[in-house]
Structure 1
């Protein structure tokens, strides 16, 4: 009977069978010794790119390498891999002669083609979204894609997964040592058969900055482009990118929306460049393709059994994160209804679900559901290595609210008085106050929708309506309560619907 090994233990035994040290394996896989140690200790999962390089360094053939990459990403159980000592080459020559010494020289490192951060956990679900965005970016006529959605929907995580998939073409082209080009793994290719981004995939984190003027410098730093004294950094970027076929991932663009023209300039200067943006607001650039990132798929309420909801993405995420907080947690027939209700109460938002699942350490699902009557007060204490705005549900909505201008903030909080959304006419009647600047009410609603704080939906009569996620609506109502206009807005709300009811009553008896 074969011994069952973890993925990390399999890597360790394969490395030792090849008589490699952790440092030597790290050199061959173009990563750090520390990362190898974490992988072997099952403390870290390698990205798809690193897994492909490890497969080559561990001298796996093409079929074995494909299984290895899947096991590395937790898509395949490690026991499906061949024994780690199978088909191990003869021991390496020692450096007793010049010829032998030359044969054991480590391969020259290729220049890195990415700075994508490694992810600590695999992505739960989102397979369709990853495939759709990747396919969009492979289309020759698509050069700018913006992932939009409210805070906590997982835009950054989705974008990193897409980038990792597209980078696979570069990562999987390296042959295993001593096997030549014939040993290269299968490469992903564009519609014409070419590698989509031979010059790399580059991640630019814009969250730490709040000045549009710093965007060019931040991009240059990520790409390793040095600033010069004689020309602005934008010119250096143009020159650096002009002949390259690369993908830029610009993350958290919403605080620096005024820098959107720079993105257009880079695309104009570099015909082979494509840009993937994550933002709570669209950039409003010509040629921009918006991809709205929706919350996770929700299960039916009141399921008869755990198996009825186990495959829904929101439930999968809850269960995985709950197990991380409390070993042995399981989805059962007894708690399935509570888990389904929690996912619905949190609108399927990945951030909210993760924060709630962490509370399973202290509360079973039934008790947790009872505490989620006011989720903004309960969902706190996220991981310390996340940005502050992602450590609480309130913090992530605060981030969006603080980016609104005063007029948008006023409209947003007044809309909190509605339950289940409203029509543009209702919003105009209830939310317009004396002294407000004159504007088409639809413009204000559209602006909030562009910033992912409202969702346009179709009403029962086919007419347009605008709605908020429940968690966002709770936040808006809190903001209204904290203002000095709560009572006046409630009076307007009541008066509008009383008048509407009176009109409906008259029409009811009109022959």
Structure 2
């Protein structure tokens, strides 16, 4: 059979070449080192056999449809729909495209799928040259020549036979696994681009070839759901990693599906495996003997667990350990050392931190270059932040591998200590700068470095310095409080640090004050009281005035939270004086804001004067958090005086201070008060949404409403009114909307109006109490004892007790708490003066 080849004459016009191809065509499908050569016996490279022209492209097989040697897929291709289009588009625009990425991320599979999708664009075929099983001493060019059945002379660069063969061909060549033969692959790719106008090259490599004309596409891990997303199995198809696990799991255990019951386990498993396809497939292969939950529990020993791979794959692709071993072997000795040291970072790092932690034994500038080299080898991932900073991270699987290598090196303790020292210094700097106007930057910094701070704390707690470093770090982090996800987390670190450092030190006194504050806001008044008393005693013993001032301040807050505003204000005023004497302006500002809050809730005219003089006039030296506190106090004062429109504007301004939103306690308080103003202004829908948002803020920080009686009592009263206006079902629907809403969404305005009866059209609630009994009931709702009620109403204690007994009898209640609920629920808020 005669075959026709297309070429061009010297002017570029198309010409056709003919060759007798059965002998040649039969070999174009073969590959590897054993492919027969297409020369006449005994011929030399310069002597083309007179019977033969250039080897010709074969007729496509009936079952193949296209010339080439792409393998048939033996398992389904999952996901990457958008990426397939992107890579195919890139390939149409460049002649050399390299897919880079970590081992096991799916570079080869993506390249082959893209190559198969563009076969119609290459009349002379799509050809795969697998380099993974070649040794470093073997010739890539010789393998390419063998693939096409062409004689190769290693002394002459890209052989004349290859040059003539490819000169006028339309071919896509896929060079797979180039990383260990990088120089040879780069040289070959460059020569192919120079000598074959119709040749395009698609490479896969853990490192770019690094030649002119190369375009690079980084293949990322498969998408996984973010932590904290609602567990909905119906959404699993949106995440390629989950879809891949489900597909491979069904092959092992027919009928396996991702359901609401196992969704959280499967998504956590995929996240722990970084969305790396090979790791996910190896994990799914374990489902024959283990459940998904059991696999997840064993992932800390992932390199032993994930060993059941494809027996037909290259040895380094059969287990996760072998896959990462291959990457490690490709690194220089210095890169291996830095890789192991970088494994102590949790959640990412910048170059300054890398130099401080990993630079021992290297010249100052070398760490930057070594990190860059690891980025090029797809070991380290570059992860830019929203504000333009450049950060880096290790995928969790690669980090685990590095930790094993670090343990083997004997250098682990020293690296961890340098890591701890770096982040302790960072915490100190941030603590000293916290009350400045740069709170947004500091807040963003600690959001980025939360994982590293926790890792540094863990090391400090295990270190042999008596726990002092851990206490110092905890105190610094508590000074700005944004480093913690919740108050509960802060308390756990504080409790552990206090147990580890029992010595009578100033650092311990400061930690006791911080622990007392956290317990107080969580509603644990008993523990808070014990910690603050111990703090005060230790501070007096040591003569530590700052800790003494904090103990007084937080004790004052405890009284305010219990509804004892006058006593609380007295203690807070003392704390303000103590901070002023110490010259601690930031602490003085915050204590004075809290004093103003106490006075506003207690109806003290001094509170109104304070907010009138300063709350709406931001001072240049005032931090965003302090200013937000002042705005909240102004809103409280206006609410207290029934000026609800102005109160709402001040509260909106307080919530609008973005730099202060990390103070979730303040955010929750402001949202709660904002809900009261909506209730007062007759919009129960907006009030219900704000109530939900306030609850979400409290949950986010672990703040207990029940422990904040000064807020809890008005909350019960207003929530009862809003429920009555809307009806329970409608209230819960809008409340749930608030739980899902951001602060910005709440501030954007109320949802569409819902037809509800006007509060003023409702019949008055049944009230069997006399006016004096009603007063007593309201004071009970405020949390006052019988003795305090007697003092407030200027009546005898026995008279107050008698009123309480009559109320219980008339309402058929058995406990005082039922009176408080009744007063908050039955009596309309607009008819009751704010407490």
Q: Same fold (TM over 0.5)?
A: yes
**Map of 1:441 onto structure 2:** 367
State the TM-score, normalizing by the size of structure 1: 0.70
Query: How far does residue 337 in structure 1 lie from its aligned partner after superposition?
Result: 1.2
**Map of 2:432 onto structure 1:** 506
2:289 is the counterpart of 1:362: yes
2:157 is the counterpart of 1:205: no
Q: Residues 51 and 383 from structure 1, CA distance in 2 versus in 1: closer, same or farther, beyond 3 angstroms?
A: farther
**Map of 2:178 onto structure 1:** 253
Of residues 309, 326, 331, the one that matches 1:382 is 309
Distance 1:480 1:300 in 2: 29
2:169 is the counterpart of 1:215: no
State the TM-score, normalizing by the size of structure 2: 0.43
Query: How far does residue 144 in structure 1 lie from its aligned partner after superposition?
Result: 0.3
CA root-mean-square deviation: 2.5
Query: Structure 1 or 2: larger helix share?
Result: 2
Of residues 226, 240, 249, the one that matches 1:322 is 249
Distance 1:230 1:126 in 2: 43
Contact 1:202 1:223 in 2 (8 A): no
Of residues 165, 178, 196, the one that matches 2:117 is 165
Distance 1:134 1:240 in 2: 25
Query: How far does residue 382 in structure 1 lie from its aligned partner after superposition?
Result: 0.3
2:216 is the counterpart of 1:290: yes
- The DSSP-based 3-state class of the residue aligned with 2:237 is coil
2:272 is the counterpart of 1:342: no
Distance 1:144 1:164 in 2: 17
Distance 1:51 1:272 in 2: 19
Query: How far does residue 309 in structure 1 lie from its aligned partner after superposition?
Result: 1.4
Deviations 1:454-491 (A, max 9, x none): 11112465421110111111111111111022122112
Deviations 1:70-101 (A, max 9, x none): xxxxxxxxxxxxxxxxxxxxxxxxxxxxxxxx
- Any stretches of 5+ residues in structure 2 without a counterpart? 1-27, 30-58, 437-620, 622-835
Distance 2:240 2:330 in 1: 30
Deviations 1:411-456 (A, max 9, x none): 111101111111100001110112x245343322111111111111
Q: Residues 231 and 290 from structure 1, CA distance in 2 versus in 1: closer, same or farther, beyond 3 angstroms?
A: closer
Contact 1:300 1:309 in 2 (8 A): no
- The DSSP-based 3-state class of the residue aligned with 1:162 is helix
Contact 2:97 2:215 in 1 (8 A): yes
2:202 is the counterpart of 1:273: no
Deviations 1:134-185 (A, max 9, x none): 122222xx10000000001110011111111111x1xxxxxxxxxxxxxxxx
- The DSSP-based 3-state class of the residue aligned with 1:283 is coil
Q: Residues 311 and 52 from structure 1, CA distance in 2 versus in 1: closer, same or farther, beyond 3 angstroms?
A: farther
Contact 2:171 2:198 in 1 (8 A): yes
**Map of 1:422 onto structure 2:** 349
Deviations 1:115-141 (A, max 9, x none): 1111111211122222211122222xx
**Map of 1:147 onto structure 2:** 99
Deviations 1:282-310 (A, max 9, x none): 11111111011111111355643321213
**Map of 2:419 onto structure 1:** 493
Q: Residues 304 and 487 from structure 1, CA distance in 2 versus in 1: closer, same or farther, beyond 3 angstroms?
A: closer
Distance 2:373 2:127 in 1: 30
- The DSSP-based 3-state class of the residue aligned with 1:299 is coil
Greater Rg by CA: 2
**Map of 1:235 onto structure 2:** 160
- Tell me the matched-pair count: 380
